[in-house]
């Protein structure tokens, strides 16, 4: 078959098409993925390290933002690096896989199983996202691994008039003590003091109306925290009882006994009245916030004696002196 030479004017066109094909193939080649800096998680800034009950514990807040301020939702884990006094080079201590993990209260904790008592360690933590991009390292956190310190024993609590009083026995390795307080027996407990030195007692002013719970923990060398004491409950109690009610009156009508008295003036302190009915050996008591009471559930006939007293609103209530009055319930005509 004979061949025919291509017209010369086609050569520039073919060259141009070849250039486009080369560019298309080049653009299709895969290379290493370069992540922009703002896609990385923001650095952790509140890393803490402490010796707690004989263990070296790290804690930090789970990051919620990327470096560019956008929401960080695809947390994959945390890289923890550690340096020691003998070896100042940071080396990998652990990687925490956090995929699918629920972080309660937004706070992450990790206990170093390799920490040796008496050694000083410095830590840093970086978070990683699902694209395997790491944040910049966190702040430095340094701690000395300390031995276990016992809990204070014989913790005693007493509620006074507007105050809470604590006392406890000393702990041999303690250089001071922290006091913790909560409104609930099961916590959470909040530290309410700096380290107490040279004293085994604590006093603070509190509301008489609040029931409180306390714990004490010993502090050792370099701030090491010992075991926490048992929990004690304190109910403040006013030292002055309420005054008796004034102007107590009673009447009977249509099967009901009506009681009334003068309202107390200090309703913030004395806002509760206790009414008790005595019928033979039967004693029934109710409380009311109003200076009146209607008793509809009466026995058939007979003399009924009522006592009314003021009860204050302390966590450990104080009762005032009772005032009494007798009412005769008539029989059928």
The answer, yes or no, to whether residue 129 has pLDDT greater than 60, is yes
Domain co-membership, 222 together with 316: no
Q: How many domains are contained in the chain? A: 3
Query: What pLDDT digit, counting tens, does each position of 215-268 carry?
Result: 999 999 888 999 999 999 999 988 888 888 899 999 999 889 999 999 887 655
Domain co-membership, 264 together with 205: no
Whether residue 33 is contained in a domain is answered as no
The mean-pLDDT minimum among 94-103, 180-189, 246-255 falls in: 94-103
Residue 295 belongs to domain spanning? 246-329
Whether residue 4 is contained in a domain is answered as no
Whether residue 8 is contained in a domain is answered as no
- pLDDT mean across residues, the chain: 86
Helix or strand holding residue 15 (H, E): helix 11-27
Whether residue 113 is contained in a domain is answered as yes
Domain co-membership, 163 together with 119: no
Between 176 and 207, the more confident residue is: 176
Query: What pLDDT digit, counting tens, does each position of 143-182 carry?
Result: 999 999 999 999 999 999 889 999 999 999 899 999 999 9
User: What is the domain-level CATH number for residue 76?
Assistant: 2.60.40.10
The answer, yes or no, to whether residue 62 has pLDDT greater than 90, is yes
Pairwise CA distance, residues 140 & 125, whole Å:
9
Whether residue 189 is contained in a domain is answered as yes
The answer, yes or no, to whether residue 15 has pLDDT greater than 60, is no
The answer, yes or no, to whether residue 33 has pLDDT greater than 70, is no
Domain co-membership, 323 together with 250: yes
Are 75 and 129 within 8 A, CB to CB? yes
The answer, yes or no, to whether residue 16 has pLDDT greater than 90, is no
Task: Report the first-to-last Cα separation within the chain, whole angstroms.
Answer: 142
Band (319; pLDDT cuts 50, 70, 90): confident
Whether residue 260 is contained in a domain is answered as yes
Secondary structure (DSSP) of 56-68: EEEEEEPP-BBTT
Domain co-membership, 54 together with 122: yes
pLDDT of residue 268: 58
Strands 141-144 and 302-311: unpaired
The answer, yes or no, to whether residue 64 has pLDDT greater than 70, is yes
The answer, yes or no, to whether residue 21 has pLDDT greater than 60, is no
Q: What is the 3-state secondary structure (H, E, C) of 273-317?
A: EEEEEEECCEEEEEEECCCEEEECCCCCCEEEEEEEEEECCCCCC
Secondary structure (DSSP) of 179-242: EEEESSTT---EE-SS-B-S-SEEEEE--TT--EEEEEEEE-GGG-EEEE---EEE----SSPP
Task: Please identify, among 144, 167, 197, the residue that sits at the C-terminal boundary of a domain.
Answer: 144
Mean pLDDT of 123-137: 95
pLDDT of residue 1: 46
Query: What pLDDT digit, counting tens, does each position of 265-296 carry?
Result: 765 566 689 999 987 777 889 999 899 999 99
Whether residue 241 is contained in a domain is answered as no
Secondary structure (DSSP) of 62-117: PP-BBTTS-B---EEEEEEEEEESS--S-EEEEEEE-TT---GGGEEEEE-TT--T
Domain co-membership, 43 together with 123: yes
pLDDT of residue 128: 95
pLDDT of residue 281: 74
Share of the chain above pLDDT 70, in %: 86
Task: Please identify, among 110, 144, 178, the residue that sits at the C-terminal boundary of a domain.
Answer: 144
pLDDT of residue 331: 73
Mean pLDDT of 33-52: 82
Domain co-membership, 101 together with 124: yes
Of the candidates 250, 228, 238, the one whose C-alpha atom is nearest the C-alpha of residue 329 is 250
């Amino acid at each position: 078959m004979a061949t025919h030479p291509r017209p010369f004017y086609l050569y520039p066109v073919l060259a141009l098409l070849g250039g486009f094909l080369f560019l298309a193939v080049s653009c299709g080649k895969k290379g290493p993925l370069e992540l922009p800096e703002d896609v990385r998680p923001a650095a952790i800034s509140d890393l803490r390290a402490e010796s707690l009950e004989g263990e070296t514990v790290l804690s930090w807040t789970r990051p919620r933002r990327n470096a560019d301020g956008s929401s960080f939702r695809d947390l994959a884990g945390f890289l923890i690096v550690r340096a020691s006094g003998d070896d100042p080079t940071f080396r990998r201590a652990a990687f925490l896989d956090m995929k699918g993990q629920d972080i309660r209260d937004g706070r992450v904790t990790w206990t170093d199983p390799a920490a040796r008592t008496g050694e000083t360690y410095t830590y840093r933590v970086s978070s990683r996202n699902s694209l395997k991009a790491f944040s910049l390292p966190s702040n430095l956190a340094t701690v000395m691994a300390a031995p276990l310190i016992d809990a204070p024993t014989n913790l005693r609590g007493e509620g006074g008039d507007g105050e809470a009083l604590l006392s406890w026995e000393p702990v041999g390795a303690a250089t001071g003590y922290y006091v913790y307080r909560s409104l609930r027996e099961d916590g959470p407990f909040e530290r309410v003091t700096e380290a107490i030195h040279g004293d085994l007692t604590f006093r603070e002013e509190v509301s008489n109306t609040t029931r409180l719970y306390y714990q004490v923990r010993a502090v050792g060398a370099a701030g090491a925290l010992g075991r926490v004491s048992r929990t004690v409950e304190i109910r403040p109690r006013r030292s002055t009882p309420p005054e008796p009610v004034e102007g107590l009156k009673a009447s009977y009508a249509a099967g009901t006994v009506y009681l009334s008295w003068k309202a107390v003036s200090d309703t913030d302190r004395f806002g509760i009245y206790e009414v008790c009915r005595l019928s033979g050996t039967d004693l029934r008591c109710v409380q009311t916030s109003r200076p009146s009471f209607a008793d509809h559930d009466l026995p058939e006939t007979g003399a009924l004696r009522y006592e009314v007293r003021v009860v204050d609103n302390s966590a450990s209530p104080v009762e005032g002196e009772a005032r009494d009055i007798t009412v005769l319930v008539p029989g059928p005509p």
